[in-house]
Amino acid sequence: MTPTGTLIGFDFGERRIGVAVGETGTRIANPIGAIEASANDARFREIGKLVDEWHPAAFVVGRPRHADDSEHAVAKLAEKFARRLRAKYNVPVVMVDETLTSAAAESSLRATRTRAARKSDVDAVAAAIILQSYLDDPDAGDDAAA
C-alpha cells in the first residue's frame, strides 16, 4: 500500500544525512537540511525532532548503487538505517535507488552557490531528489524490511 500524506526523505551518508520533506498530495519534495552527526544517538535525536514536527506517513531512504548497478559500500549501512527508522518510529520505510543523486544535486547547485555553500546543501538537495523520484513513481520503491 502506498502511503499518503507527509513523507520524509533521507540521503544517508556516514558523515551527514540529507533530509527532505514532501507531500503525496502535491507530489513535491523540498530539501530542509542535513543532520551533521556521526553518532547514532545524535542522529536519531534530530530525526525524532523531525518526526514530532512533520508527523510523517512514511520515510523514503535512498539506496546507493554504482552507475553500473553494482552495490555501493554504503548500501548495507543505508538498509540498516532504514530498519532502525522503522523499528524506532513505527513508520513505514521505503527504499529507492539513489544512483547519481549527489552528482545531480551538485550540478543543480553549481550555478547558484559558492563551493562552500554547495557542500552544505548538496545532501539536502540529494534527499529531495530521492524523495521526488518516489513521489513521481511510488512503484519504484521497495519495502525496507524486505
Burial class (CB in 10 A: 0-12, 13-18, 19+), 39: exposed
Mean pLDDT of 43-67: 92
Between 23-32, 85-94, 106-115, 124-133, the lowest mean confidence (pLDDT) is in 106-115
Which carries the bigger pLDDT value, residue 34 or residue 98?
34
User: Tens of pLDDT along 111-134?
Assistant: 655 555 555 588 888 899 999 999
Sign of CA dihedral 45, 62, 145, 1: positive
pLDDT score, position 48: 98
Task: Answer whether residue 98 is part of any domain.
Answer: yes
Strand 6-11 vs strand 58-63: parallel, antiparallel, or unpaired?
Answer: parallel
Percent of the chain past pLDDT 70, that is, above it, reads 77
Number of structural domains the chain divides into? 1
Mean pLDDT of 97-121: 59
Task: Answer whether residue 75 is part of any domain.
Answer: yes
Task: Answer whether residue 33 is part of any domain.
Answer: yes
Task: Answer whether residue 65 is part of any domain.
Answer: yes
Mean pLDDT of 11-28: 94
CATH number reported for the structural domain that contains residue 32 in this entry: 3.30.420.140
Domain with 107, as residue range(s), is 6-143
pLDDT score, position 38: 82
Task: Answer whether residue 1 is part of any domain.
Answer: no
pLDDT score, position 146: 46
144, three cell numbers: 525496507
**pTM for this entry:** 0.84
Which carries the bigger pLDDT value, residue 72 or residue 97?
97
| Residue of 14, 19, 29, 15 whose CA lies nearest to 137 | 29
